[in-house]
Amino acid sequence: MAEALSVRRLEAWYGESKVVHGMDFSVGEGEVVALLGRNGAGKTTTLKAIMGLLQRRTGSIRLDGEEIIGAAPFDVARKGIAFCPEERGIFASLSVRENLLLPPKIAEGGIALDEVLNLFPNLKERLDSQGSKLSGGEQQMLALARILRTGARVLLLDEPTEGLAPVIIQQIGRMLSHLKSLGFTILLVEQNAGFVCGLADRHYVVETGRVVDEIAGDEFERRLESVNNYLGL
């Protein structure tokens, strides 16, 4: 399998403090990979470093073999990586429609708007609502939906299940499986072991800014105990 994204010796700072201390992992094309770990382990910072959203970062980040560690965020996006942030980043002053249409198309092959709305029927009914009026679940759906149109092939998803009801979490899980079947490459940050189980092809456990363990998808059930231990459950 070709490597879509490879991260080597990544170090990153959040403001003054160094949060990522030599992160190494890779994501194959069409693969779903999860970064698991506690709060403050450096998972979100890793995603932000990949997107170019942090000023201080060193090491290597390659997208399809091309070095992108020095690239500005809009360049990273234009090279084909889409980002769904932890806080969802729904623009409160924009309508749902405006939010959906905000990210510009960067390549052919994105999912057409109609199709996106078919995937997320609740959003279809709320197209003209203000972004601030959405529930947590709807916000997450919208955050996911709006990056599917752009033609980006690599999706970075930061804790898509955070704070959501189980039924919505299941819905998002089905959605991610569907995206995987469409050939998207997905890097997922999670604290919710139950959610990634069966979804991810591989898991990296992250602690204090490094990868401390790698668990293959089929081993995950068996090692759930130790994963929960890592997550402090």
Partner 1 sequence: MAEIAEHIKDPRFVLQTRNLTRQFDGFFAVKNVNFRLARDSVHAVIGPNGAGKTTLFNLLTKHLAPTDGAILHEGEDVTRLKMPAMAKRGVVRSFQISAVFAGLTVQENVEVALLRSSGIAWSVLGRISKRSGVTERAAALLRRFGLAEHAATMAGNLSYGRKRVLELATTLALEPKVLLLDEPMAGLGREDIGRVTALIQEARQGRTVLLVEHNMNVVAQLADTITVMVRGEILAEGPYDEVAANPDVIAAYTGRAHG
Partner 2 sequence: MTTIFGVPSAVLFGQLLLGLVNGAFYAMLSLGLAVIFGMMNIVNFAHGAQYMMGAMLAWLLFNFLGIGYWSALVIAPLSVGLMGIAVERFLLRRLYGLDHLYGMLLTFGLALMAQGALSNWFGSSGQPYAIPAELAGGRNLGFMFLPNYRAWVLAASLVVCLGTWYVVERTRLGAYLRAATENPMLVQAFGIRVPRMIMLTYGAGVALAAMAGVLAAPVYQVSPSMGADLLIVVFAVVVIGGMGSIMGSIVTGFLVGLIEGLTKAFYPELSSTVVFLVMAVVLMLRPAGLFGSRLDNAGGPHEAPAEAPSSSPRTQMVLVVTLAASLIVAPLVIYPGFMMKAMIFALFASAFNLIAGYGRLVSFGHAMFLGSAGYVCGHAAKVWGLTPELAILTGTATAALLGLVSGWLAIRRSGIYFAMVTLAFAQMIYFVALQAPFTGGENGLQGVPRGMLFGWIDLSNPVNLYVFVTVIFLGGFVLIMRLVDSPFGRVLRAISNHEARAQSLGFEIDHYKCVAFTLSAALAGLAGSTKAIVTQIASLTDAHWSMSGEVLLMTFLGGVGTLLGPVIGAFVVVAMQNYLAGLGQWVAVIHGLIFAVCVLAFRRGIVGEAAAWWRRRKPHGAGPVPAPVQAASGK
Residues of this chain, 74-103, that bind partner 1 according to CB under 8 A? 86, 92
Structure token digits, residue 190:
């999670």
Structure token digits, residue 218:
């089929």
Burial 97-112 (b: 16+ CB within 10 A, else e): eebbeebeebeeebbe
Binding status of residue 136 toward partner 1 by CB under 8 A: yes
Based on CB atoms, which residue is closest to partner 1, 4 or 195?
195
Based on CB atoms, which residue is closest to partner 2, 53 or 197?
53
Which of partner 2, partner 1, none has residue 104 at its interface (CB below 5 to 8 Å by kind)? partner 2
Contacts within 8 Å (CB) and 24+ apart, 90-95: 90/131, 90/132, 90/134, 90/139, 90/142, 90/143, 91/131, 92/130, 92/131, 92/132, 93/130, 93/131, 93/132, 94/130, 94/131, 95/127, 95/128, 95/129, 95/130, 95/131
Structure token digits, residue 16:
């003054």
Binding status of residue 148 toward partner 2 by CB under 8 A: no
Binds partner 2 (CB under 8 A): choice among 150, 161, 185, 191:
150
Based on CB atoms, which residue is closest to partner 1, 40 or 183?
40
Task: Tell me how far the alpha carbon of residue 151 is from its chain's centroid.
Answer: 15
Structure token digits, residue 229:
């231990």
CA distance 49 to 18: 12
Least Å distance between CB 135 and partner 1? 7
Least Å distance between CB 214 and partner 2? 27
Binding status of residue 208 toward partner 1 by CB under 8 A: yes
Structure token digits, residue 62:
């390659």
Residues of this chain, 48-107, that bind partner 2 according to CB under 8 A? 51-55, 72-74, 76-78, 82-83, 85, 89, 91-94, 98, 101-104, 106
Binding status of residue 111 toward partner 2 by CB under 8 A: no
For partner 1, what does the binding mask look like between residues 158 and 187, x meaning CB under 8 A?
A: -x-xxxxxxx-xx-----------------
Which of partner 1, partner 2, none has residue 85 at its interface (CB below 5 to 8 Å by kind)? partner 2
Binds partner 1 (CB under 8 A): choice among 9, 124, 133, 178:
133
SS3 (DSSP) at 90: coil
Report phi then psi at 204, rounded to 5: -115, 130
Based on CB atoms, which residue is closest to partner 1, 40 or 109?
40
Residues at the contact surface with partner 1, assessed by CB under 8 A: 16-17, 19, 38-40, 86, 92, 132-133, 135-136, 159, 161-167, 169-170, 191-195, 208, 232-233
